[in-house]
Homo-oligomer: A and B are copies of this chain.
């Protein structure tokens, strides 16, 4: 399949996940972007809105057209929540695979979904054909799915860091704390006083302490992976930087395990994974070590004198946390080598 051309449609490409998809697909040898839609910007060349794309795309935003999208192999939704589910069935009927970068298909529990997203789900009957698009944990599902729910950025960083220890039975299922930190691009490209440069620069804050939509998503997937309900406290924070996400995950040991064993468990879990890198013992990842790349880098520690495991997990929230993971899912779906088009070296410094 390595010479195959994948015809791609992108619905709603005027946000940061849209431009990042275009950046990555520009160097993907099998990708042909045939349409990128935007109601508000129809007619505008994508390279006018995002001048980094000048010289790489001649494409202009177009009105969403079912006909054009139905001619695609894969359609990415880089839209607000609620859009993908409204168009899914029509596209599926035409044989199109769907990758939703929003949250429409992330939670199987429809009641929980409705509570957190404040709307009725448009197509609960589609859920059996959905896979949760975290290839390192759900690759087999993805290969057979029609619809991919591309995970949230926090869940990506936290699940990759926590699951190996839960699966190995080394840590307790309760009392887990995940302290997440995200760059401001995670808040999207909408005009918003709180996200002005003059507001967010040189400041750090917690937010969403009372509850965040990524919590039910994580609880469900952790339950599936651990085989039992998991108790997790999650607090996100905003970092004065554009890209990058770090999650520090605190778990309680269920038995006495050495630092070296913890390191081995993590290395074994991801030995064959091209996009998860376990840092050498004694070192720690920094978000700049993954900037612009699809890597997740992990480190694990057992702080002296206690019974905690601490995992530090970093990703680029727009790549492994969004558009890069979406392309990785596309590669799995289309039976392409999973690393195709995703070997960018992180920009450092």
Contact = CB atoms under 8 A, between A and B. Distances in A.
A326 B343 CA distance: 22
A336 interface: no
A287 interface: yes
Contacts of A252: 175
A60 to B, nearest CB: 14
A107 to B, nearest CB: 15
Interface string A282-323: 111111111111010101010110101010101000100000
Given A50-B348, A52-B289, A347-B52, A209 B27 contact: no
B189 A304 contact: no
Interface in A200-234: 200-207, 209-211, 231, 233-234
A31 interface: no
B198 A286 contact: no
Given A184-B196, A205-B287, A248-B206, A235 B345 contact: no
Number of copies: 4
Nearest to A200: B197
A197 B209 contact: no
B192 A191 contact: yes
Contact of A201 (B23, B189, B242, B282): B242
A306 to B, nearest CB: 6
A347 B185 CA distance: 12
Contacts of A191: 191-193, 196
A248 to B, nearest CB: 6
Contacts of A299: 206, 209
A237 B304 CA distance: 18
A314 B181 CA distance: 16
Interface residues of A, number: 93
A142 to B, nearest CB: 22
A240 interface: yes
Contact of A56 (B27, B179, B345): B345
Given A189-B198, A288-B202, A52 B240 contact: no
A198 B185 contact: yes
A301 B210 contact: yes
Contacts of A293: 52
A250 interface: yes
Nearest to A347: B292
B242 A209 contact: no
A276 to B, nearest CB: 10
A91 B270 CA distance: 44
A56 B154 CA distance: 26
A252 to B, nearest CB: 7
A243 interface: yes
A42 interface: no
Given A50-B348, A239-B240, A55 B277 contact: yes
A110 interface: no
Interface of A: 16, 19, 22-23, 26-27, 48, 50-56, 175, 177, 179, 181, 183-185, 187, 189-193, 195-207, 209-211, 231, 233-235, 237, 239-244, 246, 248, 250, 252, 274, 277, 279-280, 282-293, 295, 297, 299, 301, 303-304, 306, 308, 310, 312, 314, 318, 343-349
Given A16-B198, A19-B349, A206-B246, 14 more contacts: A51-B285, A52-B345, A177-B177, A179-B179, A179-B250, A183-B198, A201-B241, A209-B284, A210-B301, A210-B304, A233-B310, A237-B248, A243-B347, A318-B349
